[in-house]
């Protein structure tokens, strides 16, 4: 097993050398996920190359790679039970795998939560797609979903009612919470190069035994409670939760929960934390949190220098394993670790190998949706 670790570290170091070389040539990628597909002039013809690029716990997520392309031509969202062909809602309820793309730039206001079926990719590259002013996306009891290149802002609760959740079923839904993306009882989910701001509840919530998830290359701004991973101490199924957050910029106007974790294993790697008002990473009952190669720039407030937050000392809220490896702590930031002998061998195939924390700014340089043209992204 030790030789396997050394082999992987050599591979990671080789990737860093390639990244540096490409960056000097002006090619616009600065982390291993983007190195997998960007800077290819034929990216638009070979969009599905993206499907082999996920790293971390969401590795192996291929979305709608096995299906046909579906072109969204209509930004409307008028009929929740019989959605119009050519709309995003009509696309995501189909039973077969689909790679969903957009005919032109569009702003989509969802009248109710958008409920997805399995094996779908929502690919916003080249179109400037914004989901704004309405409900968000619900990923519930499904698998194999990629969401790439979408802006989410000003998401509000949906009122509930009759909503179609597949081509063959619709049912009565209660009002949605106002999350941009809610992941419930699902696995193999990859959210990449999206941006999030000003939602009613959370930006991304992951609950009820969801696992095998990567959130990467995203840009978060202007929100209070950013990520909730595990909604209740009583949800013991969340012990299997495994989530990677990588190459993401936590920017202006953020307060807390980047993320807030219960149970599960959370690998937080090469992210850039430039703003928070209360804390960056919070924990509930018995999480395992491995923070590697992040940059934490503490706010001026002397009461908010601690990166971590555990609420009540010596209670279940002060449990779990907290590790900081290679993080860069700036402006008085501190990270309270726990003594541990954590063995990572069982996770080595899914852990994203980090660059040093001083490179977090570079790794997140192109966080958020990309400005793609026919010549490249």
State the CATH number of the domain containing residue 128: 2.160.20.10
Interstrand relation of 281-283 and 137-140 (parallel, antiparallel or unpaired): unpaired
366, 28 contact by CB (below 8 A): yes
What's the whole-number mean pLDDT along residues 257-283? 95
Residue 42 predicted with pLDDT over 70: yes
- Tell me the range of 22-26, 267-271, 373-377 where mean pLDDT is highest: 267-271
**150 beta partners:** 129
Residue 68 neighbours by CB distance under 10 Å: 10
Interstrand relation of 308-309 and 281-283 (parallel, antiparallel or unpaired): parallel
Q: Does 241 map to a domain?
A: yes
Confidence of residue 315 (pLDDT cuts 50, 70, 90): low
- The whole-number pLDDT of residue 284 equals 84
15 closest CA partner among 34, 39, 28, 41: 34
Please give the DSSP secondary-structure letter assigned to residue 58. Answer: G
Q: Is the peptide bond before 321 cis (omega within 30 degrees of 0)?
A: no
Residue 118 has φ and ψ, to the nearest 5°, of -70, 160
Active-site residue identified among 153, 257, 262, 295: 257
- The whole-number pLDDT of residue 233 equals 81
Give the list of residues 6+ apart from residue 339 with CB closer than 8 angstroms, or none.
none
Cα–Cα distance measured from residue 174 to residue 177, given in angstroms and rounded to the nearest whole number: 9
Q: Does 170 map to a domain?
A: yes
- The whole-number pLDDT of residue 135 equals 98
- The whole-number pLDDT of residue 306 equals 95
The encoded tokens of residue 61 equal 């997520």
Q: Does 23 map to a domain?
A: yes
Please give the DSSP secondary-structure letter assigned to residue 334. Answer: B
Residue 190 C-beta-side C-alpha neighbours within 13 Å: 28
Residue 20 predicted with pLDDT over 70: no
Confidence of residue 377 (pLDDT cuts 50, 70, 90): confident
Q: What is the CA radius of gyration of the chain?
A: 20
Give the list of residues 6+ apart from residue 18 with CB closer than 8 angstroms, or none.
35
Report residue 19 CA to chain centroid gap.
22
The terminus-to-terminus CA distance of the chain in angstroms comes to 38
269, 244 contact by CB (below 8 A): yes
Residue 10 predicted with pLDDT over 90: no
- The whole-number pLDDT of residue 316 equals 55
- The whole-number pLDDT of residue 341 equals 63
Cα–Cα distance measured from residue 255 to residue 274, given in angstroms and rounded to the nearest whole number: 11
Residue 136 predicted with pLDDT over 80: yes
Cα–Cα distance measured from residue 70 to residue 77, given in angstroms and rounded to the nearest whole number: 17
- Judged by average pLDDT, the poorest of 1-10, 19-28, 92-101, 142-151 is 1-10
Across the chain, what does the average pLDDT equal? 90
Residue 326 predicted with pLDDT over 70: yes
User: To which residue do tokens 């992941």 refer?
Assistant: 183
Cα–Cα distance measured from residue 19 to residue 11, given in angstroms and rounded to the nearest whole number: 12
Q: Does 374 map to a domain?
A: no
Q: Does 277 map to a domain?
A: yes
Please give the DSSP secondary-structure letter assigned to residue 84. Answer: P
Give the list of residues 6+ apart from residue 152 with CB closer than 8 angstroms, or none.
130, 131, 132, 136, 180, 181, 194, 195, 196, 197, 199, 203
Residue 115 predicted with pLDDT over 80: yes
- Judged by average pLDDT, the poorest of 86-100, 203-217, 349-363 is 349-363
Tell me, yes or no, if 109 is annotated catalytic: no
Q: How many domains does the chain have?
A: 1
Over pLDDT 90: what percentage of the chain?
A: 77
User: To which residue do tokens 């980047």 refer?
Assistant: 258
Q: Does 8 map to a domain?
A: yes
Q: Does 375 map to a domain?
A: no
- The whole-number pLDDT of residue 314 equals 61
What's the whole-number mean pLDDT along residues 167-176? 96
**164 beta partners:** 170
Q: Does 350 map to a domain?
A: yes
Q: Which domain holds residue 70?
A: 2-363
Q: Positive or negative, the Cα torsion across 150, 108, 87, 175? A: positive
pLDDT tens digits along 240-267: 999 999 999 999 999 999 999 999 999 9
Give the list of residues 6+ apart from residue 283 with CB closer than 8 angstroms, or none.
260, 261, 262, 289, 308, 309, 310, 317, 319, 320, 322
Cα–Cα distance measured from residue 339 to residue 311, given in angstroms and rounded to the nearest whole number: 19
């Amino acid at each position: 097993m030790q030789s396997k670790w050394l082999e992987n570290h050599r591979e990671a170091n080789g990737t860093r050398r390639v990244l540096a070389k490409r960056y000097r040539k002006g090619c616009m990628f600065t982390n291993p996920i983007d190195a997998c597909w960007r800077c290819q002039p034929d990216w638009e013809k070979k969009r599905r190359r993206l499907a082999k690029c996920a790293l971390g716990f969401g590795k192996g997520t291929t979305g709608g790679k096995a299906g046909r392309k579906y072109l969204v031509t209509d930004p409307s969202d008028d009929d929740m039970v019989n959605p119009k062909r050519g709309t995003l809602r009509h696309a995501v309820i189909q039973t077969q795998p689909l790679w969903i793309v957009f005919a032109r730039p569009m702003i989509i206001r969802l009248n109710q939560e958008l409920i997805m079926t399995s094996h779908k990719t929502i690919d916003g590259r080249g179109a400037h797609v914004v989901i704004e002013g309405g409900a968000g996306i619900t990923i519930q009891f499904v698998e194999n979903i990629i969401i790439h290149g979408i802006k989410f802002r000003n998401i509000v609760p949906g009122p509930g009612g009759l909503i179609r959740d597949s081509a063959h079923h619709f049912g009565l839904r209660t009002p949605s919470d106002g999350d941009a993306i809610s992941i419930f009882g699902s696995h193999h989910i990859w959210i990449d190069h999206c941006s999030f701001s000003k939602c009613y509840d959370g930006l991304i919530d992951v609950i009820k035994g969801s696992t095998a998830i990567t959130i990467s290359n995203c840009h978060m701004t202007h929100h209070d409670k950013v990520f909730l991973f595990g909604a209740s101490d009583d949800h013991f199924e969340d012990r299997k939760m495994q989530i990677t957050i990588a190459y993401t910029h936590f920017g202006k106007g953020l307060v807390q929960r980047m993320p807030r974790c219960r149970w599960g294993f959370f690998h937080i790697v090469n992210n850039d934390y430039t703003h928070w008002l209360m804390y960056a990473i919070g924990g509930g009952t018995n999480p395992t949190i491995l923070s590697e190669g992040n940059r934490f720039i503490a706010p001026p407030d002397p009461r908010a220098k601690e990166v971590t937050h555990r609420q009540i000392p010596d209670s279940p809220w002060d449990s779990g394993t907290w590790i900081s490896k290679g993080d860069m702590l700036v402006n008085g930031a501190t990270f309270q670790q726990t003594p541990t002998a954590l063995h990572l061998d069982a996770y080595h195939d899914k852990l994203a190998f980090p660059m040093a924390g001083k490179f977090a700014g570079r790794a997140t340089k192109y966080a958020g949706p990309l400005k793609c043209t026919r010549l490249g992204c």
